[in-house]
């Protein structure tokens, strides 16, 4: 499974890239607002650190506005992926951009048919939001499993990018369900390498060695 980091914070992106397992970056308007920096400027900085796909979300909600913003963002770097909401104007922009060979990440997906529609339109990535579904008492992982089945049934090559990931257990079940990519905050990525028995075991090995050899 590919791993993207879900942040617009440059320091966190550098830390994740340093681990050697980072495949891409997703950003959104909330994440960029937290940074309080110009979106285009930050995207350019991110693209200098990461060569994999970097998702840049449009702010416009109408087709023409989305296309205009997409064209601006695409000038930033070759690895920019245009992130569009799974609305009707978003679907139309997805198809228009795909026809031009532009990669899109279709975001805010909460039901499987949205994923089927954007796959038909040629989306590069679909972003089902697991955590936000869990938050309202639904089963986010079921959405991943259903999209996987639909895509496999028809041979769609749109990649499933599991989003709104809150903890390592989400990462585990995404991998088991066959998500192609998971995007997560830095803490979740680093927590995937943690287990208390690893720490206890390492401590014991080192103290035994020290006892024997000083």
- Site of interaction with ligand E4P (CB under 6 A): 6, 26, 28, 107, 127, 129, 131-132, 163-164, 183
Greatest C-alpha distance within the chain: 72
Catalytic residue, chosen from 14, 34, 83, 103, is: 83
Nearer to ligand E4P, 30 or 153 (CB): 30
Least separation in angstroms between CB 26 and ligand E4P: 4
Is residue 163 within 8 Å of residue 147, measured between CB atoms?
no
Nearer to ligand E4P, 9 or 127 (CB): 127
Is residue 126 within 8 Å of residue 115, measured between CB atoms?
yes
Nearer to ligand E4P, 135 or 198 (CB): 135
Least separation in angstroms between CB 203 and ligand E4P: 34
Kindly state the helix (H) or strand (E) to which residue 135 belongs, with its residue range.
helix 130-135
Residue 35 CA to chain centroid, in angstroms? Answer: 18
Is residue 44 within 8 Å of residue 76, measured between CB atoms?
yes
What is the distance between the alpha carbons of residues 63 and 198, in angstroms, rounded to a whole number?
A: 51
Kindly state the helix (H) or strand (E) to which residue 127 belongs, with its residue range.
strand 125-128
Least separation in angstroms between CB 28 and ligand E4P: 4
| Catalytic status, residue 83 | yes
Least separation in angstroms between CB 86 and ligand E4P: 12
CA 126 → CA 74, 115, 145, distances in Å? 19, 6, 13
Nearer to ligand E4P, 165 or 212 (CB): 165
What is the distance between the alpha carbons of residues 124 and 4, in angstroms, rounded to a whole number?
A: 15
Catalytic residue set: 83
């Amino acid at each position: 499974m590919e791993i993207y980091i879900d942040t617009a914070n440059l320091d966190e992106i550098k830390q994740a890239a340093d681990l050697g397992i980072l495949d891409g970056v997703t950003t959104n308007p909330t994440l960029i607002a937290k940074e309080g920096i110009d979106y285009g400027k930050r995207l350019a900085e991110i693209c200098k650190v990461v060569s994999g796909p970097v998702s840049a979300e449009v702010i416009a909600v109408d087709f023409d506005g989305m296309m205009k913003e997409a064209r601006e963002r695409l000038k930033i770097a070759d690895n920019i992926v245009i992130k569009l909401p799974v609305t009707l104007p978003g679907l139309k922009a997805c198809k228009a951009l795909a026809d031009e060979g532009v990669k899109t990440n279709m975001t805010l997906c909460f039901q499987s048919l949205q994923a089927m529609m954007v796959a038909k339109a040629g989306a590069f990535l679909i972003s089902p939001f697991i955590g936000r579904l869990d938050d309202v008492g639904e089963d986010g992982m079921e959405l991943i499993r259903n999209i996987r089945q639909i895509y496999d049934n028809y041979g769609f090559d749109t990649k499933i990018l599991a989003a709104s990931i809150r903890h390592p257990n989400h990462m585990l079940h995404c991998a088991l369900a066959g998500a192609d990519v998971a995007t997560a905050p830095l803490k979740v990525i680093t927590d995937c390498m943690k287990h208390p028995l690893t720490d206890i075991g390492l401590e014991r090995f080192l103290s035994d060695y020290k006892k024997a050899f000083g």
